[in-house]
Structure 1
């Protein structure tokens, strides 16, 4: 169950008592506030709070004294200019705070983005729930033969069934021992901060994650990419939908220039110019390594 009854009651209470405000409001994000978007089998992402909107980005860029000093079309053009030329500071004026429930191994990838404020559920003080990420059968893949950190074809038949059985059995057994170690019935009980070390990396944790829009875009550019690991990519894709509602003009520019765009090396750009001029270019004549050429061809087709 992604949300506990207590969490759902807290959400319902917060949404039932709206308050008037003078600060910038994004109608799209207001509709998202507190609602939990399910991710994976037990996870979710929900917006706790946010600051700023598209107009706030433009206001910071112009250092103006008020909102609405320019037409919406001018604001959108400015935002696209800022994104196109890699200006970051105006986007840093917007912030969002998310509540995320995710498997520990996904959290270890996520925390590598060190440009956010994080507070994680503490297993030193609290007892973790018996909730583990168990992949769907079509998400069980073999090791990629071309990418040391990627997946290949999906497992099938008896092998897939055996892997799923092991994942479920090992997770359940580890949690049984965790409960037995911390129990104080007929024994002292091991400290929670020690007992947690026996839990597997697919158990769920939770945290509050607060980040500005510039660094959020950087996170999404990497983690919403088709090459990102599936389990973190689905969280990034859920956040993309939230950001689209929050700052539609900024997200549109991000989608165009970052998610849908590409960056070429000097060698790659030179090869494109040669191709446009009608020259046949191969990996051997490109000056690129095989890996570089494969990635280049993935961009230009």
Structure 2
């Protein structure tokens, strides 16, 4: 039986569903005082900084970014905790036979947890710890996948057979958000020394968040700049 093991997590921006810009956010902010004349107004950086600094958040909802994420199920479940301003659609194990692709931590991933709740830090494991981690992951995956396949071949429905599969199985999902909801997500799922409120995300979801932040900075550069400058707090 063949299974695939991977340590990378894939994040891609769907250009077709990309909408909005720094300019659109400024127009949305100015319409309350300028009406239709807002479409021709300028001085974007100063206005965006004012909005961010003073927590005027609604103009930052005028935009859309849609990401296709390929990640283990445990990463997808952390996403589902973010609900305000987010929409999701995920591969369904009820209707599709799933693929035997499973997550294993990369060799550089810290393995040992130290500290107390809320202040954990993770340090590198020993050679033996890395070895047993990979071995145990692979053995558990092979056992689970064999059980899944046996049930399918016996005629058991996909929605029942999938019950034996672990959270290390890869899934694919679309995650769509506006800039405001993305900034909130990034404030919680990235670790940054300049952040007003420290966060301690799990490494795997931080990898996803950093890829999203790069896309955000590319397509909404002034909004990203003033968010970062103002302590990485969503307005």
TM range (shorter): 0.7 to 0.9
**Is 1:104 the counterpart of 2:91 in the alignment?**
no
Q: Which has the larger radius of gyration?
A: 1
**Is 1:126 the counterpart of 2:96 in the alignment?**
yes
Q: Structure 1: where are the runs of 5+ without partners?
A: 1-39, 262-301
Please identify runs of 4+ aligned residues in structure 1 that moved more than 6 A. Answer: none
**Is 1:248 the counterpart of 2:221 in the alignment?**
yes
The Cα of 1:151 is off from its aligned counterpart by 4.2
RCO higher in structure (CA 8 A, sep ≥6): 2
The Cα of 1:42 is off from its aligned counterpart by 4.6
Q: TM-score, normalized by length of structure 2?
A: 0.85
For the residue of structure 2 that corresponds to 1:178, the secondary structure is helix
- Paired with 2:8 and 2:26, the residues of 1 have a C-alpha distance of 38
- Paired with 1:238 and 1:100, the residues of 2 have a C-alpha distance of 10
* Residue 157 (structure 1) aligns with: 127
- Paired with 2:152 and 2:9, the residues of 1 have a C-alpha distance of 25
* Residue 181 (structure 1) aligns with: 151
* Residue 195 (structure 2) aligns with: none
Judge conservation of contact 2:30–2:38 (CA < 8 Å) in 1. no
Judge conservation of contact 2:9–2:207 (CA < 8 Å) in 1. no
- Paired with 1:178 and 1:155, the residues of 2 have a C-alpha distance of 32
- Paired with 2:80 and 2:158, the residues of 1 have a C-alpha distance of 23
Judge conservation of contact 1:58–1:75 (CA < 8 Å) in 2. yes
**Distance change in 2, residues 1:66/1:174 (3 Å):** farther
* Residue 69 (structure 1) aligns with: 40
* Residue 212 (structure 2) aligns with: 239
Deviations 1:135-189 (A, max 9, x none): 0123141122233673432210223211210011111221121112112xxx4x2
Match of 1:228 among 201, 205, 208: 201
Q: CA RMSD of the aligned region, Å?
A: 1.8
- Paired with 2:231 and 2:79, the residues of 1 have a C-alpha distance of 19
Q: TM-score, normalized by length of structure 1?
A: 0.67
- Paired with 1:126 and 1:203, the residues of 2 have a C-alpha distance of 14
Counterparts of residues 199-218 of structure 1 (less than 5 Å): 199-218=165-184
Counterparts of residues 1-301 of structure 1 (less than 5 Å): 41-48=7-14, 49-63=17-31, 64-65=35-36, 69-71=40-42, 74-115=43-84, 116-147=86-117, 150-183=120-153, 187=154, 189-226=155-192, 227-259=200-232
**Distance change in 2, residues 1:211/1:142 (3 Å):** same
The Cα of 1:255 is off from its aligned counterpart by 1.1
The Cα of 1:107 is off from its aligned counterpart by 1.0
- Paired with 1:175 and 1:258, the residues of 2 have a C-alpha distance of 45
Aligned length, in residue pairs: 215
For the residue of structure 2 that corresponds to 1:228, the secondary structure is coil
Judge conservation of contact 1:97–1:208 (CA < 8 Å) in 2. yes
The Cα of 1:190 is off from its aligned counterpart by 1.0
